[in-house]
Amino acid sequence: MRRCVRGVLAVLTLCGSLVPAVSAEAAEGRRAGPVPLERLFDNNAVSDDSRPEEADFDGAGASLSAGDLTAAGWTPGRSLTVQGARLTWPKRRPGEPDNVRAAGQDVRVTGRGDALAFLVAGTSGTETGGPGTVFYADGTRSSFRLTAPDWRTGPLATKAVALPHVNTPAGQRAERARLYGVTVPLVPGRAVASVRLPDAAGLHVFAVSVRPAASGWTGSWTTSTGGYTSVGPWTDRTLRLVVHASAGGPRVRVRFDNTFASAPVRIGGATVAVRASGAAARGAPVPLSFGGAAGVEIPAGTQTYSDPLGFAVPAGGDLLVSFHLPGTVTAAPVHRLAQQRSYVSEPGDHTGDGSAGPYTSVITGWPLLAGVDVGGGPGSVVLLGDSITDGDKSTVDANRRWPDVLAGRLRAQHTVPRYGVLNQGVSGNRVVTDRYPGDGVSTDTAGVSALHRFDRDVLAQTSARTAVVFEGVNDLRWDTSAEEVIAGLRELAGRGHARGVRMLAATILPCAGEARCTAAVDAERRAVNAWIRDGGVFDGVLDFDAVVRDPQQPSRMLPAYDSGDHLHPGDAGLAALADSVDLRLLRP
């Protein structure tokens, strides 16, 4: 047996394969009880671009670029919020140990929350992972499975950040390097004491934390990022976005997401106000803060929440969220189809201006802003869908999407709690296929697949209690089989149930008369709907097909509900969908 050394990592060559040797600190983590993750670091992933030989992430001499990480805003010791969890990028210089090769180490992690969050990447060429264990302060434990896609071949659609280069001993290569944020469930209410990592070759862990449950908050409004598109360009401009609150409350916080980005974005200041009309506020806009500061820089691929603010959000009312972009922004994460006009100002910080005067341009999407939460309340219902949930063909500026009508029904009754309603519809979205590739500037804003966005758009949403999945028609219209759609829906149900979310499914609407809705597509649609109704996988079914179909021609919508394109319901059809929901099904 021959011993060899590559960089700072010792490996054993046995039968022609490389087996990483466990560092003394890693061995200590298994012998002496839980220790902080950084005491177990035994691998160098990050190198200075001029000295790539100082790191060897994958055992073959390749590493992450320190320059690329800095350009993305991922600097040593920086706190990053990924899927609602605060994770700290290792405070290590290039060439120093900055991650753990998972080998069953016991890590000290404390806190109460709904999930355990990791920053991870694999170096095995394929997805790698294994079982781990959470130990609670009361002596109990729970198991989880942690997996990480490969840092060079994993899906871009689910990465936390992608870097444009890989450093190698032969020089820098123009190749995407990926890092991933992954969460696994915790037992609700129990205090975490430590975590035992999986014993999995090629699984690297950079950070771990407990994601706190969003106790005391209800999600009132949200939207999903459908892509990363060219904008403006905007330099020294203020955006004033109009959003419609579902639930009200005495406090507010907002969330900005820099999803899919490759560079940080700077928000110089932000305010919130109740809308009077157009871009005009009812009263003076109230400043928001971020960690006590007026502005914030959001690193690539991460998000930020404003500090809680005492501010009365009216249930069913419109808010103006204004934010100043002091630098030049040429591309941004965007939800394209807002069905709501918002505004861009003349040059300058106009966040505090209550009048509409400075806001001279109109936009019809929602860039950067991704959520509004209100204090108190019973939690939220998340609606995961495509253009029908997004409100395509509903009246602009009128809030007649079916999620808006459903929210109005909830506010007007006392049978079930008055949940917030979170609309995560993305026009053109599919269950199993990405439309937007998940990285880079693109004109396609139909988003990554429901499977790839589920963790971010459902599980990480504030106080999500119940989720409704209403997707599939776009898959079928573009030649995905019923079996593939069913497999995707089954996976979504399982992933939601594993996190304690009540999972409902809605049947797919008829669309005969639209060019791609052939008889063959309708046969596949009916097969998916039969499975939704009878499969017993979901906790309940919203039979939207039965609500809008023409009894004389079941493959078509009733003319009264058809917007005219035979695919999307109009205002009356969308109201019929919302009115058909048995509200008792929404209760967890």
| pLDDT, tens digit (0-9, with 9 covering 90-100), for 44-61 | 999 999 999 999 999 999
Tell me: pLDDT of 7 over 80.
Answer: no
pLDDT of residue 31: 53
Number of Cβ atoms within 10 Å of the Cβ of 552:
7
Tell me: pLDDT of 2 over 70.
Answer: no
Hey, what are 70's tokens?
Answer: 């800095």
Nearest-angstrom CA–CA distance, 524 and 477: 10
What's the average model confidence in pLDDT over 19-25?
Answer: 44
CA nearest neighbour of 423 among 468, 379, 393: 468
DSSP for 347-404, written as a single string: SS--TT--SSTTEEEEESSEESEEEEEEESSS-EEEEEESHHHHTTTSPTTTT-SHHH
Task: Kindly report whether the peptide bond that precedes residue 233 is cis, defined as omega within 30 degrees of 0.
Answer: yes
pLDDT of residue 183: 98
- Ramachandran angles phi, psi of 335, nearest 5°: -100, 115
pLDDT of residue 21: 43
Tell me: pLDDT of 22 over 50.
Answer: no
Contact status, residue 432 vs residue 475, Cβ threshold 8 Å = yes
Number of Cβ atoms within 10 Å of the Cβ of 450:
28
pLDDT band per the 50, 70, 90 thresholds, residue 443 = very high
What residues have CB less than 8 Å from 361, skipping those under 6 apart? 343, 344, 345
What's the average model confidence in pLDDT over 382-397?
Answer: 98
Q: Express each pLDDT in 183-210 by its tens digit.
A: 999 999 999 999 999 999 999 999 999 9
Q: Which residue has the higher pLDDT, 24 or 458?
A: 458
Tell me: pLDDT of 241 over 60.
Answer: yes
Start-end of H helices in 58-192: 66-72
Query: Picking from 22-26, 336-340, 539-543, 581-585, which range would have the lowest pLDDT averaged per residue?
Result: 22-26
The overall average pLDDT reported for the chain is 94
pLDDT of residue 19: 34
Q: Is the dihedral of CA 183, 186, 188, 189 positive or negative?
A: negative
pLDDT band per the 50, 70, 90 thresholds, residue 542 = very high
Nearest-angstrom CA–CA distance, 580 and 582: 6
Q: Express each pLDDT in 514-540 by its tens digit.
A: 999 999 999 999 999 999 999 999 999
Tell me: pLDDT of 326 over 90.
Answer: yes
What's the average model confidence in pLDDT over 412-434?
Answer: 98
What separation, in Å, do the N-terminal and C-terminal C-alpha atoms of the chain show?
59
Tokens 């781990």 found at = 132
pLDDT of residue 6: 28
pLDDT of residue 340: 98
Q: Express each pLDDT in 76-125 by its tens digit.
A: 999 999 999 999 999 999 999 999 999 999 999 999 999 999 999 999 99
